[in-house]
Amino acid sequence: MTKYFIIIVVILAGVVILYSKGDKNMEKKNFNDLSEMEKWVIEKKGTEKPYSGKFNDFNQSGFYTCKKCDAKLYKSDSKFNSGCGWPSFDDEIKGAVKRITDKDGRRLEIVCANCGGHLGHIFSGEGFTAKNSRHCVNSISLNFSPLAEVNITTQKAYFAGGCFWGIEYHFEKLDGVQSANSGYMGGRTLNPTYEDICYKDTGHLEVVEVVYDPARVGYETLAKLFFEIHNPTQANGQGPDIGSQYLSAVFYNTDEEKNTTLNLIATLEKVGYKIATKLMYKNNFPFYKAEDYHQNYYQKTGKQPYCHKYTKRF
């Protein structure tokens, strides 16, 4: 009886081992094949050279996914340019990233929560964005998945052209625009107030965040209206409002928006306009919504813009 019991146990153990091996093999097949360099970074926790990765200077809309298992890790709107030489994000998709303290106890490693693949390290307290966090990620650990147009409901565009009351007033009248919000962008301090940007030289501009339906109005139409409702040639402010907070600027989200704006500027300059408008990458500068009394100012007061009027230029 003991002999038969031992034989049965051995057989069952063999089945368990075979099943376990088969299960591990199945698990392996779920992961993408990696090159030797990718294995060195993702599986052996190496680091690619700074400024060498394909996503360091990359500004398209979509999702950044794990090179090893395709799990979604970061949204494009969390990416910003830190100047460190590697892609930087100030937040991950909830639950996508796991934090592990390095053996030396000095740094905090980040890995894919799904497969454990090495991504890079996370740093805080640097003040790059309002979230005060920097995920420093190897490009080689990532893939990119463009945002399908069918999933897009609304988009946001950011324009500065003098007092935000007038810019907001004109954009809210455009068909396809759902809302226009006055706020601050482009400065050096977190959570600025109106008093801060007026009296403390924070470097912020008065900016309007335009929320629009891309199925009804395109970015080019928005940008054209922007150049036609303020004087883009004035370099020291707008109308009687003089100062750095009133400068003309476009904060672009993507390379497509940047190129659209540059093409419009080139068109205007061909007919004699000397454009003073600056272009800045939006992800480097968080948008801070202005105080409630600044929102819909002309609608609340019944007044008309004093330094913004429509002038056809295209």
List helix spans (H) across 175-254: 194-199, 219-228
Does residue 205 contact residue 250 with C-beta atoms inside 8 Å? no
Cβ–Cβ under 8 Å, residues 124 and 169? no
The yes-or-no answer on residue 163 being catalytic is: yes
User: How far is CA 40 from each of CA 45, 141, 167, rounded to the nearest angstrom?
Assistant: 6, 10, 51
Distance, CA of 112 to CA of 98 (rounded, Å)? 6
Strand partners, 205: 185
User: Under DSSP, is residue 3 helix (H, G, I), strand (E, B) or coil?
Assistant: helix
**Conformational region of residue 113, where left means phi above 0, alpha means psi within -120 to 50, and beta covers everything else:** alpha
User: Distance (Å, rounded) from C-alpha 174 to C-alpha 167?
Assistant: 11
Query: Known catalytic residue: 198?
Result: no
| Helix (H) or strand (E) run with residue 256 in it | helix 255-270
Which of 112, 163, 198, 307 is the catalytic position?
163
Question: Among the options 112, 136, 198, 307, which is catalytic?
Answer: 136
The greatest distance separating any two alpha carbons of the chain, rounded to the nearest whole angstrom, comes to: 103
CA distance 19 to 27: 12
Active site members: 136, 163
